[in-house]
Structure 1
């Protein structure tokens, strides 16, 4: 990527990187979005089952792909330092890690899903749907993790529009397959929630094939030739990837599991409450794609600048990302507050569920600002390859303070089910404050280094 001189140049360059990432993230997210939406049209019990299954699946997927995301800052810094020869080896080591992770998760789902679901107080019909949904999703584990490696490589080269093109194809494919397998069309049986899992798994396979074809045949990817001259597994390079990737994965896991934990704790309430909570969380997650995409762009941009030892430019990109995300957070909050009822009505016709969802949306609007700060700051820190302290901060903010606060408010005050959402606000806000402090400290430290 080229060096930028003015703030205007940096702004346009960031937009060029971030917008395709945003489209990509939305397309990926739409798979889960349409799983929830289309299943809600099939049955409220299947919706609850997919919600529980998704609450188990998303943190696992997010945490483990977070490990693979470690490839992005490593490759970005190598490209910034003009060390292209090392990129191929690191990407190939990422493939080895992806395959191992896929088999480990598959084994865990087969062996542990029944005991885990038995621990959750659910109606039997909901538990069965959740189990079948996860079984079907596991068919797509290998392509999902391999694609994560390819995408990290593609994005690190600044070719985020390529990832966008590949992933954009996934949404319509997934919608068509959902229609076929959830509702039983073209001679296939109606599988409900299990059909949503199968549709997603098959989509992952198709997307991986498309990605391999593009990387194998097109520049600048052919210049690095990641599918040629295969290196043997290297414990040293796998160790480097793990040192960066594992804290990223654990940090993402800590963040996503708090939301999943809240969903599981919500199972103490009625199926209608679970469904309303999941609808609110589902739409809020769509809005989160904006700060998340800015964060991923910040990792790439900051990584390149740090690799080139342009620390001042890295600092500018860091705070430019935060300012942009904060600006959009006010728009997101307005959408949630003004259009609460129409949005809820998209998901369900059940009046009681709509009423509950509208109430949850109010609290969702409150943590938009915290998301807008903590996500891009986290992304910038990954660009600096500063990930371990970030993970520790996430654990403290979300699990030691945020979730216990929510539990106390939900079980010992009149807030009841909404107490968990207040706990989320507390955890996210504290996380944002501590991460900003860490970024400021790191940038001051690097500013003293000779260029």
Structure 2
């Protein structure tokens, strides 16, 4: 262990310096949903908490599609910056912003027209559906400013500037919590809004974050050399397709994984309201650790893209392996946290004893899948930095929709194991995904290393 640490020590330091702000920034997306759940769970009751669970299980799909497409620009920015092609970076930003504006508008339209109708046909509690509809509309509208923010965030992070998005995300989340409490509970003479209150607070928060992040990029001296080619005239078909060829498979990768968890939430909702609320509590906590791992993966994408751009494949492998070490250490810690904290952590979200009992059991299962969850998302990030996105997309589909969800449905519904059975299936899906990503990384990176040496 000492020899391994000595070998990778400088890489741990460099990668953590880049990854830490990204981790905190990535965590912001989940903290918005987590704060919504905490506020609603304490101030609006179990029915409203179940409504938040239902909406989040639907909303996460278009959200992750939008985020995935926006991530397509990051490896391209990192690779071109590694080659010192600053003009191309500015052109990529122009095309990335155009794509994300169109994407956000389309996703909102689909949510508004399709999902509201679908809520009536998911066999959920009528009380839950009534609370869910206005919340889903407000979250859908917030997709547009969220993707504008993410466009400039991914541009800055692709160039190695990660701290600013972190600061904006932290301040935005504090604002979201404060406004959410005021609107949900009804303070300062405002009529209590219930679930709609957290919808409005999220929309306000994301609009302000988009304005501040874009203003930072346009005003900072760090980006002047890149922004010389940022213009409408540089939006073109070929460059947009280049971004979409990476962004679309990334979106599908995230979609296959998170849609399996969303489908699981809907299946759980057909079992009982208490199990649905407990699932929301446990998945919120697990999502926080996942988003931290996703931040490590985003940093791994940037570093891998830099090495790949200059064809330093030996350095790429060493950097990638060090990121695997970092995520394993972090997720081992969170596994212990979930194991020992399972009786207490659900109280963050609710005081309903029935929900707490079930959520505590789910956190033990979450502890089991922590390392698999972390290593699979880091593996995806490394492969993304090398431009390898198509085979990993197929692998994620197989892991979650061919293995994980069917096994979970069989255990949970057919064998009547309930929510725990469904979660066991999801654990299996994460294990399969983790293994496939690692073997793919080993194959691709060694092939490039041999080719460059010959």
Q: 1:329 aligns with which of 328, 331, 338?
A: 331
Secondary structure at 2:344 match in 1: helix
Residue equivalent to 2:379: 377
Per the normalisation by structure 1, the TM-score is: 0.96
2:272 maps to 1:270: yes
Q: How does 1:402-421 map to 2 (within 5 A)?
A: 402-421=404-423
In structure 2, what is the Cα distance between the partners aligned to 1:30 and 1:198? 16
For residue 217 of structure 1, report the CA deviation from its aligned partner: 1.1
- Long gaps (5+) in structure 1: none
8 Å contact kept, 2:37–2:52: yes
8 Å contact kept, 2:269–2:276: yes
Residue equivalent to 2:92: 90
Structure 1 residues 229 and 416, CA gap change in structure 2 (3 angstroms): closer
Residue equivalent to 2:127: 125
In structure 1, what is the Cα distance between the partners aligned to 2:96 and 2:410? 42
8 Å contact kept, 1:139–1:198: no
Which digits, 9 at most, give the CA deviation of each residue in 1:26-69, with x for residues without a partner?
23321111001101111211111111001111121012210110
Secondary structure at 2:417 match in 1: coil
Of 282-291 and 395-404, deviating more is: 282-291
8 Å contact kept, 1:21–1:293: yes
8 Å contact kept, 1:81–1:307: yes
Secondary structure at 2:221 match in 1: coil
Which digits, 9 at most, give the CA deviation of each residue in 1:65-99, with x for residues without a partner?
10110100000000011111101111111111111
Q: How does 1:383-394 map to 2 (within 5 A)?
A: 383-394=385-396
Q: How does 1:15-414 map to 2 (within 5 A)?
A: 15-41=16-42, 42-225=44-227, 228-414=230-416
8 Å contact kept, 1:72–1:155: yes
In structure 2, what is the Cα distance between the partners aligned to 1:151 and 1:142? 14
Per the normalisation by structure 2, the TM-score is: 0.96
Which digits, 9 at most, give the CA deviation of each residue in 1:274-327, with x for residues without a partner?
101110111111122332111111000110011011111111111111111111
Which digits, 9 at most, give the CA deviation of each residue in 1:76-133, with x for residues without a partner?
0000111111011111111111111122112112211233112211121210211111
8 Å contact kept, 2:12–2:326: no
For residue 148 of structure 1, report the CA deviation from its aligned partner: 1.1
Of 187-196 and 154-163, deviating more is: 187-196
Residue equivalent to 2:3: none
Which digits, 9 at most, give the CA deviation of each residue in 1:122-145, with x for residues without a partner?
121210211111111133222111
In structure 2, what is the Cα distance between the partners aligned to 1:328 and 1:226? 40
In structure 2, what is the Cα distance between the partners aligned to 1:229 and 1:242? 19
In structure 1, what is the Cα distance between the partners aligned to 2:212 and 2:71? 20
In structure 1, what is the Cα distance between the partners aligned to 2:188 and 2:306? 49
In structure 1, what is the Cα distance between the partners aligned to 2:27 and 2:163? 13
For residue 232 of structure 1, report the CA deviation from its aligned partner: 4.7
In structure 2, what is the Cα distance between the partners aligned to 1:133 and 1:345? 24
In structure 1, what is the Cα distance between the partners aligned to 2:16 and 2:116? 45
In structure 1, what is the Cα distance between the partners aligned to 2:417 and 2:296? 33
For residue 226 of structure 1, report the CA deviation from its aligned partner: 6.5
What RMSD in Å do the two structures reach over aligned CA positions?
Answer: 1.5
8 Å contact kept, 1:91–1:226: no
For residue 342 of structure 1, report the CA deviation from its aligned partner: 1.1
Of 228-237 and 343-352, deviating more is: 228-237
In structure 2, what is the Cα distance between the partners aligned to 1:208 and 1:228? 18
In structure 1, what is the Cα distance between the partners aligned to 2:119 and 2:137? 13
8 Å contact kept, 2:59–2:140: no
For residue 228 of structure 1, report the CA deviation from its aligned partner: 4.6
Structure 1 residues 87 and 227, CA gap change in structure 2 (3 angstroms): closer
For residue 264 of structure 1, report the CA deviation from its aligned partner: 0.5
In structure 2, what is the Cα distance between the partners aligned to 1:325 and 1:450? 28
For residue 9 of structure 1, report the CA deviation from its aligned partner: 2.3
Of 346-355 and 178-187, deviating more is: 178-187
In structure 1, what is the Cα distance between the partners aligned to 2:29 and 2:270? 30
